[in-house]
Structure 1
Amino acid sequence: MTSVVSPPRTIRIGSRKSQLALVQTYWVKAELEKSFPDINFEVHTMSTQGDKILDVALAKIGDKGLFTKELEVGMINREIDFAVHSLKDLPTRLPEGLALAAITERENPADALVVHEKHQDKQLDTLPAGAVIGTSSLRRLAQLRNKYPHFTFKDVRGNLNTRLAKLDAGEYDALILAAAGLQRLGMGDRVHQVIPKEVSLHAVGQGALGIECRADDVDLISLLKAIEHPPTRDRCLAERAFLRDLEGGCQVPIGVNTEIDGENLALTGVVASIDGTQLVKDTVTGKAAEAEKIGTELAQLLRQQGAQPILEEIFAEIQRGLK
């Protein structure tokens, strides 16, 4: 395949400095090099606000662009040409002048249970009352509190290796992490249990990579489409439309699950209160080609079923700096 970029140029890829971000970015770079061997791709790393603030719960920072803003500024200032994100970190409303150019094939989007060695014979259902479960996600926290109110939940921050070290040192009995991140870092053996969707719906975009670039760079957008995965794209566009319509950031307890069967796409969504006592959940099915319409319809349906008061209370709690 020949390059669609004219004239030829070096393309600068922006990435966070974390190990997982670099693994993902270099995977994208390698995939593009397969299709465009004559183009030079360079990786430029940046630290984001979310990388720098490690001693405060994500929900208390209150910024939807925690892991993306610095990269977006780099694109707007033409320091980099595009950025690779974990799609779940990318806000559903992008800055003016930027666009979501491509979504890559999804890894397993499910949440995973990772346990301390003393609990190797346990599953979520058999962990003892009072077990300390580490998570930095309000979405996981709300859904697990709904099913397992007898657990003790404790915030955990840091990169994956840091979190696992805290678990292994005995600070936690178990962690809830994204299965995709563990798999991408070659730590799939740490997945003790894939958490069923009946227990915890995953984050919007979880397991997929989103590639963001300047909206007016049509040649680059055409190039990036070479590594897009249409079924993943449709699933994630439905999820993002659902989240966008509910005006939730990554730190609002909103979970999703999407399935594609031929031309049809089924989107399940949940809105839960932070304490887990209230939960609204339903499914909408439609044509995958109208993915965003499905997401909007589901958001409206959950509002009709009582999601709005739950969301308003969550926003109020986050504003008060509570968890």
Structure 2
Amino acid sequence: MQTILRIGTRGSPLALAQAHETQARLMAAHGMPEQAFEVVAISTSGDRIQDRPLSEAGGKGLFTKEIEEALLERRIDIAVHSSKDMPTVLPDGLELSAFLPREDARDAFIGKVAKAIADLPRGAKVGSSSLRRQALIRRMRPDLDVVMFRGNVQTRLRKLDEGIAAGTILAYAGLKRLGLEHVVTDLMPLDGFPPAPGQGAIGIESRIGDRDVEKMLAAIHDVPTGQALACERAFLAALDGSCRTPIAGHAVIANGIVSFDGLIISPDGTQSHTVKMQGPAQEAARIGNEAARTVRAEAGETFFDGWL
């Protein structure tokens, strides 16, 4: 059978799992066989650069650049991403056109010498490449030694086994999608350890105006997840969020209402500002934008000048 849809993705086990979940949902929604789809793994700069933080190498776009080039050049038909890895500004001609139902958005701690961050010995090393996670860890435990931890899930777990750090934090959603829930020793609460905007949600990118693809994706798009992500991404965009900006944001949709919690925090964890906002779910993007303006006004421009 001729391939109908080519699905582009990074080549990590988690990225492939997300691509195959997308494929399975499309197969079920349209009654199509597996042979109608081709999963195309694409190596990205973000995967290849392992020796320094993304903020120094070029930011989130390093995980999407090569995949988006393939999409624009029509070598693939859709791209499947972890939404938290997506820059807020996309290349001309591309859009985030669908989201799958969101998984658990919480972060998960995996400890080797203690089950929880609170129980780690003074000076213990905790590995993370996320500025948000680093800042939140330092806010909880200023005495810990937070070290850079790059690589996919399996690489980070191997580093733990090798004793490079006493613990690390990963997205619970990714561990669940890989069937690795058993490695988690503690789940971080949403209120005390808020997630990255988009965490836990699979986003699907496509070419603007590709009607056949739009129709296929409409059948698997989860509207509440799309509304929540519109709010979170608007918050991030209005704060000029990048890999240099420790920002957290989480929106929940219930009974047509979006409830949003946002946070900005200094990299050392000593200063932070929070914002809560609610409103009609259909105005999610406006609410995210308003939340950003509110927290920016409260923090003052000098707060950002000090650590951007």
Same fold (TM over 0.5): yes
Q: CA RMSD in A?
A: 1.5
Q: Name the amino acid aligned to 1:101.
A: S
Aligned residue in 1 for 2:15: 21
In structure 1, which of residues 146, 150, 153 is the aligned counterpart of residue 143 of structure 2?
150
In structure 2, which of residues 21, 24, 33 is the aligned counterpart of residue 30 of structure 1?
24
Indicate whether 1:214 and 2:207 are aligned: yes
Indicate whether 1:76 and 2:69 are aligned: no
Contact 1:102 1:225 in 2 (8 A): yes
Aligned residue in 2 for 1:224: 217
Using the TM superposition, name which of 82-91 and 143-152 deviates more: 143-152
Task: Supply the distance in 2 between the matched residues of 1:38 and 1:124 (Cα, whole angstroms).
Answer: 46
Q: CA deviation at 1:259?
A: 2.2
Q: Name the amino acid aligned to 2:159.
A: K
In structure 1, which of residues 286, 298, 303 is the aligned counterpart of residue 296 of structure 2?
303
Q: CA deviation at 1:63?
A: 2.8
Q: CA deviation at 1:251?
A: 4.4
Contact 2:228 2:253 in 1 (8 A): yes
Q: CA deviation at 1:307?
A: 5.2
In structure 2, which of residues 43, 50, 53 is the aligned counterpart of residue 54 of structure 1?
50
Contact 1:138 1:274 in 2 (8 A): yes
Task: Supply the distance in 1 between the matched residues of 2:267 and 2:11 (Cα, whole angstroms).
Answer: 31
Aligned residue in 2 for 1:244: 237
Using the TM superposition, name which of 102-111 and 53-62 deviates more: 53-62
Task: Supply the distance in 1 between the matched residues of 2:130 and 2:300 (Cα, whole angstroms).
Answer: 19
Contact 2:267 2:307 in 1 (8 A): yes
Aligned residue in 2 for 1:280: 273
Task: Supply the distance in 2 between the matched residues of 1:113 and 1:23 (Cα, whole angstroms).
Answer: 21
Deviations 1:248-290 (A, max 9, x none): 1244200012222311111110111111111011101111111
When normalised by structure 1's length, the TM-score is: 0.91
Q: How does 1:175-194 map to 2 (within 5 A)?
A: 175-194=168-187
Task: Supply the distance in 1 between the matched residues of 2:159 and 2:191 (Cα, whole angstroms).
Answer: 28
Q: How does 1:197-212 map to 2 (within 5 A)?
A: 197-212=190-205
Task: Supply the distance in 2 between the matched residues of 1:26 and 1:251 (Cα, whole angstroms).
Answer: 31
Aligned residues: 305
Cα separation, partners in 2 of 1:223 and 1:251, compared to 1, 3 Å: farther
When normalised by structure 2's length, the TM-score is: 0.95
Flag structure 1 segments of 5+ consecutive residues without an equivalent: 1-7, 316-323
SS at match of 2:168: strand
Q: CA deviation at 1:92?
A: 1.1
Deviations 1:62-108 (A, max 9, x none): 33311111010011111111100001111111110001110111111
SS at match of 2:259: strand
Task: Supply the distance in 1 between the matched residues of 2:100 and 2:301 (Cα, whole angstroms).
Answer: 32
Contact 1:267 1:284 in 2 (8 A): yes
Aligned residue in 2 for 1:113: 109
SS at match of 2:268: coil
Flag structure 2 segments of 5+ consecutive residues without an equivalent: none
Q: Name the amino acid aligned to 1:19.
A: P
Q: CA deviation at 1:170?
A: 1.3
SS at match of 1:314: coil
Deviations 1:36-67 (A, max 9, x none): 23472111111000011111122211333111
Task: Supply the distance in 2 between the matched residues of 1:307 and 1:139 (Cα, whole angstroms).
Answer: 19
Task: Supply the distance in 1 between the matched residues of 2:41 and 2:304 (Cα, whole angstroms).
Answer: 35
Q: Percent same amino acid at aligned positions?
A: 42
SS at match of 2:305: helix
Aligned residue in 1 for 2:166: 173
Contact 1:112 1:193 in 2 (8 A): yes
Q: Name the amino acid aligned to 2:31.
A: P
Task: Supply the distance in 2 between the matched residues of 1:177 and 1:67 (Cα, whole angstroms).
Answer: 17
Aligned residue in 2 for 1:3: none
Contact 1:87 1:205 in 2 (8 A): yes
